[in-house]
Amino acid sequence: MLASKLYAPTLRETPADADVISQQYMLRAGMIRKMAGGIYSYLPLAWKSIRKIEQIVHEEMGSIDAQEIMMPIIQPAEIWQESGRWKVYGAEMIRLKDRHEREYCLGPTHEEMITTLVKGEVNSYRQLPVTFYQIQNKYRDERRPRYGLMRSREFIMKDAYSFDIDEEGLDVSYWNMYHAYERVFSRCGLYFKPVEADSGAIGGSNSHEFMALAESGEADVIHCNSCDYAANIEIGKPGIIKAVEEEASELQEVPTPDAKTIEAVAEQLHLPLAKTIKAVVLSTDGVVVLAIVRGDHEVNEIAVQHAVDSTIEPEMATEEELQNAGLTAGFISPVGLKQTETFKIVVDESVMETYNVCGGANKKDAHYININPKRDFNVDDIIVAPIRLITADDACPNCGGQLSIAKGIEVGQVFKLGTKYSESLNATFLNQGGRPNPFVMGCYGIGVSRTLAAAIEQFHDENGIIWPRAIAPFEVVVVPINAKDEALMDVSTRVYEALKAIGVDALLDDRKERAGVKFKDADLIGYPLRITVSKNTLESGAVEMKIRKNGEAIEVPIDEVTTVVADTLNTL
């Protein structure tokens, strides 16, 4: 393609409201434009990269016999009501009514839809297993869309769904997909880690997330330095820390004016954080949950969700919910409180192993000292569970080794659903014995647009993007340093044509811009290779080939360009 015919409006300045590198560079490189909060247009360069990711996905889905279909983006409310998720999704689901006042949503995912689609048509075990996939816009009305394509409200997903006879079949489908995902992300050039993930309240036995490791990632990944354990921090199970045993002193109320955080209390009372307990009040599915961890620990909300057996991810409780539960924010502990239908108390295991700690007195400006949980809590009336977040100081849950924590961008997830949707939507097949059985399902997702952003988060420098070859909008840019010079344009065109002839995806920068502008654009957009055609090297019958990744530049004789470029691309 000719750069003079390519719409790539590059910007010299970093746009003000771009939070992360991928967003900044995609805006600056003329790849995306924001049309509304969390809603973007893809300009030609970005769309070309998206198409390359899609092609890799198609090939790898084909390799495991997954069949491409296309389901509607608009989904009728009825199937979501049937599965029970119409309510669960809350404000994240974008809803609408048609002219006849019928309710729909814009699909955030398609479990209900695919189950409805095969229901009554896949009738026999002989038709199983079967796996479908589609690549499509998905919708989530994020409270605070941010980070460009990493957390947008309209985004491109590849979603897939497998249908099997039984758990063993699902296991095969699951691992086929898992390995296909490994190949997809490897081929895209990402540095990623599959990690164990929360399988939710569904009771599925397996889920893995594919994490592209990057500073800007919103997820925390723990992994062991000794064994191959790797997991989303949410599911890392911490050990129980037993404090040194002490004689229990008498419970005593002390004034703690204006000390609303446990850190402030510890400072006022000159206590180490480990001698305090802190309260986090959450809300899930209409239930207010008081979560208690040691002052030096953090609450793992997913663990709390499991502890109270909820299907809905907890959120911070509102002031109103606190009031209704009779809680005094900043001064809460379980001492003297009782659970009800709509109020639960979940205490971390390690809290139960503490002595003489400090916690809220459940009234304003007061704390207790010398709380002894086993003595002072209604121990038969609380839930004790491992609800603190694991840390790098904990031992590996698998081998006891040293853990590390890294930031990750979730680019994919595989999930064993089991019979959750086939049961709620009553979708069955006849097994070998002629009896109706619910399908055993898996669901699988790849964030296509997020993968694009993740690649940039991983591969860039101060001058711009450094594309992995496989998903670069163009593999090579050929730059005549002066497009008005016929001799230079002539050589450039010949090199460009020769590269295209061997299947290299090349761009000829025939724009009548200064060389400096073209070089800056080439670095910003991040083509893996740049061929510069100038009088300097032409004198010796050569052009310059520069590798974006490491800045290495070598002179290449014109008649060797195709070979050298092909060889070099294979190393990128």
> Where do contacts with its own copies occur on this chain (CB under 8 A)?
5-7, 9, 33, 35-36, 39-44, 47-48, 50-51, 65, 67-76, 91, 94-96, 98-99, 102, 104, 106, 113, 116-117, 121-122, 127, 130, 132, 137, 139, 141, 143, 153-154
**DSSP assignment, residue 54?**
H
Instruction: Between 48 and 420, name the residue whose CB sits nearer to its own copies.
Output: 48
Per-residue HEC secondary structure of 362-430 comes to CCCCEEEEEECHHHHCCHHHCEEECCECCCCCCECCCCCCEEEEEEEEEEEEEEEEECHHHHHCCCEEE
Q: Please answer whether residues 221 and 229 qualify as being in contact, where contact means their C-beta atoms are separated by less than 8 angstroms.
A: no
Smallest distance, Å, CB 564 to its own copies? 28
Smallest distance, Å, CB 102 to its own copies? 8
Tokens standing for residue 444: 């699988």
Query: Dihedral through CA 23, CA 26, CA 31, CA 35, nearest 10?
Result: 20
Smallest distance, Å, CB 182 to its own copies? 22
- Rounded distance, CA 13 to CA 249, Å? 63
Smallest distance, Å, CB 240 to its own copies? 40
Neighbours of 166 (CB within 10 A): 13
Q: Are strands 460-461 and 440-447 parallel, antiparallel or unpaired?
A: unpaired
Q: Please answer whether residues 524 and 25 qualify as being in contact, where contact means their C-beta atoms are separated by less than 8 angstroms.
A: yes
Smallest distance, Å, CB 25 to its own copies? 17
Q: Please answer whether residues 225 and 399 qualify as being in contact, where contact means their C-beta atoms are separated by less than 8 angstroms.
A: no
Residue 56: closest CA among 448, 413, 465, 409: 448
Residue 214: closest CA among 23, 379, 80: 23
Residue 294: closest CA among 273, 266, 263, 265: 273
Smallest distance, Å, CB 97 to its own copies? 8
Instruction: Between 14 and 137, name the residue whose CB sits nearer to its own copies.
Output: 137
Q: Please answer whether residues 113 and 72 qualify as being in contact, where contact means their C-beta atoms are separated by less than 8 angstroms.
A: yes
Smallest distance, Å, CB 120 to its own copies? 9
Smallest distance, Å, CB 3 to its own copies? 12
Instruction: Between 141 and 348, name the residue whose CB sits nearer to its own copies.
Output: 141
Q: How many CA atoms lie within 13 A of 380 on its CB side?
A: 0
Contact residues for 98 (Cβ-Cβ < 8 A; gap 6+): 104
Instruction: Between 100 and 270, name the residue whose CB sits nearer to its own copies.
Output: 100
Smallest distance, Å, CB 9 to its own copies? 5
Residue 151: closest CA among 39, 285, 8, 273: 39
Instruction: Between 65 and 567, name the residue whose CB sits nearer to its own copies.
Output: 65
Instruction: Between 65 and 267, name the residue whose CB sits nearer to its own copies.
Output: 65
Omega before 129 cis (within 30°)? yes
Smallest distance, Å, CB 71 to its own copies? 5
Instruction: Between 36 and 244, name the residue whose CB sits nearer to its own copies.
Output: 36
Smallest distance, Å, CB 528 to its own copies? 21
Smallest distance, Å, CB 511 to its own copies? 10
Instruction: Between 98 and 381, name the residue whose CB sits nearer to its own copies.
Output: 98
3-class state of residue 117 by DSSP: helix
- Rounded distance, CA 260 to CA 538, Å? 73
- Give the CA distances from residue 200 to residues 115, 208, 291, 303, 473, in Å, rounded to whole numbers and listed in that order: 19, 12, 19, 10, 37
Instruction: Between 71 and 329, name the residue whose CB sits nearer to its own copies.
Output: 71
Instruction: Between 51 and 363, name the residue whose CB sits nearer to its own copies.
Output: 51
Instruction: Between 95 and 520, name the residue whose CB sits nearer to its own copies.
Output: 95
Instruction: Between 16 and 244, name the residue whose CB sits nearer to its own copies.
Output: 16
Smallest distance, Å, CB 65 to its own copies? 5
Instruction: Between 41 and 324, name the residue whose CB sits nearer to its own copies.
Output: 41
Per-residue HEC secondary structure of 176-202 comes to HHHHHHHHHHHHCCCCEEEEECCCHHH
- Rounded distance, CA 192 to CA 531, Å? 30
Q: Please answer whether residues 522 and 530 qualify as being in contact, where contact means their C-beta atoms are separated by less than 8 angstroms.
A: yes
Neighbours of 38 (CB within 10 A): 21
